Structure 1
Amino acid sequence: MNPSVKRHQLILQQLQEHKHVEVPDLCEALNVSAVTIRKDLKLLEEKGLLFRTHGGAALENPYIKDRPVNEKEQLFAEEKAAIGAAAARLVGAQEAIIMASGTSMLALARALPPNQPLTVITSALNVGMELLRHPQIEVMQLGGYLRHSSSSVTGPYAEQVLADISCSKLFLGVDGIDLDFGLTTTNIGEAHLNQAMLRAAQETIVLADSSKFGKRGFGRICGLDQVHRIITDAGISAQDVRKLEEQGIALTVV
């Protein structure tokens, strides 16, 4: 078999197993130079078999487009419910927490004990409406420009309120987790608001189903060095688990 054909087969096999691969790992596995691997990835991309990314390749398009929240809610619904339940177990009575926007936040809101005294600051209208049914949970709804696609607010008004708040935990949903680039979302205004949330919280916990790994949105929120814990599902690759643990990030896999 032609050596290049064999390499291409092995690259595609790695992608099927891990969803995304990086050039240094392929160099080590195939015992060839980075120049050779990049040429292989370029050829495979031209054939429509993968998408090149910064430093590697992905099986799916790594650049995310915005989708309506009701459409997102149908994707990975069981995984998000399990992620939300695991996150709810981290919340203690009398805590003040921030919940950002996204379908994983809605899953967390549905999993919170209804009779547990709690203060929740949120930018998401659907999260606020879900929690409004529980008299023991005080809800501070942030105000600002309402995004139709996410049913959440962005803008300077919400950021100003957060400047005067200190909370124990931030629960953050994201559109993409790139192990080099960090956490991203599809909207730059939402990224700025998420940054204000980070400054207002002592601990940052990311809720993300495994499909978010290896992807990037338009707006960068932060690097992984600002994340304390990630809660995800069993679809995460062993490679990503290892790299997150090497960075000292606590990982909960449901």
Structure 2
Amino acid sequence: MEKSTERRHEEIRKYLLAYERASVNEIARVLDVTPETIRKDFSFLENKGFLFRTHGGAVLRNSNVDIPLNIRTQEKMDIKRLICSKVINYIDNDNVVFIDPSSTALPLGRLICLKKNLLLITNCFDMVSIAAESKHEIIMLGGSYSKTGKRTQGHFVTDMISKFSFDVAIFGLDGSEGLDGPGTQTEDAVFTNMAVMKRSKRNILIMDSSKFTRPARFQYAQFSDFDLLVTDKVPDQLKGKINTTVIEVGSE
């Protein structure tokens, strides 16, 4: 494969990871090539399992792609800050808190400075980096390193979790389309989240509304397993079907 073709495929991957969908004409204009060239590129990347072709374009194949944390962090940041500004009210001084490697939860790393004497436990490298500015004790769970998710994973993580009891645990998700609870793209995250939920007194799920219509490969819980769901908006067709307390920050 020519280097120019490889570079073009990489640019298409970056674009779809950032925007999730694109038209043939849009990408052709951005990369300054013909639409026919982009159609061939889309066919190649579809065969590689990266995208689905649509009429006149392509969409990211969410069900098979673990989107890098640095890409997810850039999405809907205003909404994520609103969600975290509500969630911080459910963390008390002296709590033992688990926060999972969710981009939605990252603003909590700064907000926890409003609390006193927390023990923060996480397997998210970015969370540790942000929360390090606070005066709280932080424990990073050890395990195999996921470059994509900037997290640790595997049986070492779940073994360490079994040594703790959490006052509050905060979880994100990759999607929930067609599910009755949160889903993730990686099997390791299922085992990690399930282990934490069993050892936490209060479990909180946080998500922006786009996750209701995104697919995920593995479901790790039901909505009813959580004490609280914080989002910007629950779709009308799901209202009354989520059996837990829901806070919609977008409606306040």
Residue from 236, 240, 243 that aligns with 2:241: 243
Give, in angstroms, the shift of residue 216 of structure 1.
2.8
1:243 CA drift (Å): 1.6
Quote the Cα distance in structure 2 between the aligned partners of 1:147 and 1:208. 22
In the TM superposition, what whole-angstrom CA distance separates every residue of 1:18-44 from its partner, at most 9, and x where no partner exists?
xxxxxxxxxxxxxxxxxxxxxxxxxxx
Say yes or no: does 1:177 pair with 2:172. Answer: no
What SS is found at the alignment partner of 1:113?
Answer: helix
Match in the other structure for 1:139: 138
CA deviation map 1:36-56 (0-9, x unaligned): xxxxxxxxxxx96xxxxxxxx
Residue 82 of structure 1 aligns with an amino acid whose one-letter code is L
Consecutive unaligned residues of structure 2, counting only runs of 5 or more, are 1-53
Query: Counterpart of 1:216 in 2: which secondary structure?
Result: coil
1:189 lines up with 2:184 in the alignment? no
SS at match of 1:177: coil
Q: CA deviation at 1:179?
A: 6.4
* CA distance, structure 2, for counterparts of residue 65 and residue 181 of structure 1: 21
1:150 aligns with 2:162: no
The answer to whether the Cα contact below 8 Å between 2:169 and 2:204 also exists between their aligned partners in 1 is yes
Correspondences of 1:91-110 after superposition (within 5 Å)? 91-110=91-110
- Tell me the SS of whatever aligns to 1:79: helix
- Over aligned residue pairs, what C-alpha RMSD do you find? 2.3
- In 2, distance between residues paired with 1:62 and 1:128? 27
CA contact (8 A) 1:174 1:183 kept: yes
How far, CA to CA, are the matches of 2:107 and 2:146 in structure 1? Answer: 19
| Mapped contact 2:98–2:168 kept (Cα < 8 A) | yes
Percent identity of the aligned residues? 19
Question: Does 2:127 align with 1:127?
Answer: yes
Structure 2 partner of 1:252: 247
* Alpha carbons 1:179, 1:224 under 8 Å: kept: no
* Cα distance in 2 between the residues matched to 1:115 and 1:129: 18
Whether the aligned pair in 2 keeps the contact of 1:228 and 1:250 (CA below 8 Å) is yes
Asked if structure 2 preserves the Cα contact closer than 8 Å seen for 1:185 and 1:221, the reply is yes
Q: Give the whole-Å Cα distance in 1 for the aligned partners of 2:63 and 2:178.
A: 14
What is the CA deviation profile of residues 158-216 of structure 1, one whole-angstrom value per residue up to 9, with x for unaligned ones? 10111121111110011112464421111111111111111121111011000001333
| 1:207–1:231 contact (8 Å) kept in structure 2 | yes
Gaps of 5+ in 1: 1-46, 49-59
TM-score, reference length from structure 1: 0.70
Give the drift of 1:122: 0.4
Name the amino acid aligned to 1:95. Answer: N
The question of whether the paired residues in 2 share the 8 Å contact of 1:64 and 1:175 is answered with no
Matches of 1:96 and 1:232 in 2, distance apart?
Answer: 23
Cα distance in structure 1, aligned partners of 2:172 and 2:231: 11
Q: Distance in 2 between matches of 1:64 and 1:210?
A: 20
Q: Determine helix, strand or coil for the equivalent of 2:202.
A: strand
Secondary structure of 1:176's aligned partner = coil
Relative to the length of structure 2, the TM-score reads 0.71
TM-aligned CA distance change 1:178 to 1:202, over 3 Å: farther
Instruction: Give the superposition deviation at 1:95.
Output: 0.7
